[in-house]
Amino acid sequence: MIVASILLILVAVVLLVVGLADGSSSLLIVSIAASLLAAVALVMGARQAAAARAAAEQTPAEADQGGGSADRQPGGRMPPGQHVPPSIDHGGTGWRQPPGPPVVGSAPVVDGEPAPAAVTPAEAALLAQLDREVWVVDAHPRYHLAGCRELLGEPEPLPVAEATDLGFTPCAHCAPVAALLSAEGRIASGGAGAGP
């Protein structure tokens, strides 16, 4: 494909020169069409070459499982355009995902962290629709309402839906779930929502 694109580029240049010399608009149009075809052939050739490299880098075990490093470059990096967000932002606001896997329900207090408040599946679904902000602290697993006494360190605002997606859980002390859902006119208990 790359050879075909080079040949099409040469044809386009020749047609352009001849079309300009003769003053023929039809040759100029054919030159433009040949240029476009050359661009398409070049893109297709580059994609085929990338797919061949990815297939060559895949280990036999990954090939049997149908996945693995076919999406990755050597060293485990994702190719451009296939971004997987890191759990730690080293260059921006300094935010991290809370330590460990997301906590569902209640869990014991660890290292002085407040206990998480229990969240029903219905409440979680309602929270996922909200864009109201809660407060989080780098490397702490809870999200809070502004002014919570458990909110120590350098808090940052974050939409509640994003906080839950990142694995933060609500603080049992300030009860942000009940406060946010009642502020939105939705019932925080009983598993049903009301309002808009």
pLDDT (tens digit, 9 = 90+) per residue, 135-163?
998 888 888 898 888 888 889 999 988 88
The answer on 177 and 131 residing in a single domain is: yes
The whole-angstrom separation of Cα 157 and Cα 149 is 16
Tell me: the pLDDT tens digits for 23-79? 888 988 999 998 898 888 888 888 888 888 877 776 555 555 554 444 444 555 545
Local confidence band at 89 (pLDDT 50, 70, 90 cut-offs): very low
Tell me: the pLDDT tens digits for 111-139? 567 778 888 888 888 888 888 899 998 88
- DSSP H or E stretch at residue 143: strand 142-144
The answer on 190 and 99 residing in a single domain is: yes
Tell me: the pLDDT tens digits for 100-111? 544 444 344 555
The whole-angstrom separation of Cα 121 and Cα 159 is 19
Q: What is the distance, to the nearest Å, from the Cα of residue 93 to the centroid of all Cα atoms in its chain?
A: 17
**Structural domain includes residue 82:** no
The answer on 165 and 106 residing in a single domain is: yes
Share of the chain above pLDDT 70, in %: 66
The answer on 51 and 107 residing in a single domain is: no
The answer on 61 and 131 residing in a single domain is: no
The answer on 50 and 98 residing in a single domain is: no
Q: Is the model more confident about 194 or about 134?
A: 134
Count of domains for the chain: 2
Report if pTM > 0.85: no
The answer on 119 and 22 residing in a single domain is: no
Give yes or no for a contact between 177 and 144, defined as CB atoms under 8 angstroms apart: no
**Structural domain includes residue 83:** no
The answer on 162 and 102 residing in a single domain is: yes
Domain extent at residue 149: 89-196
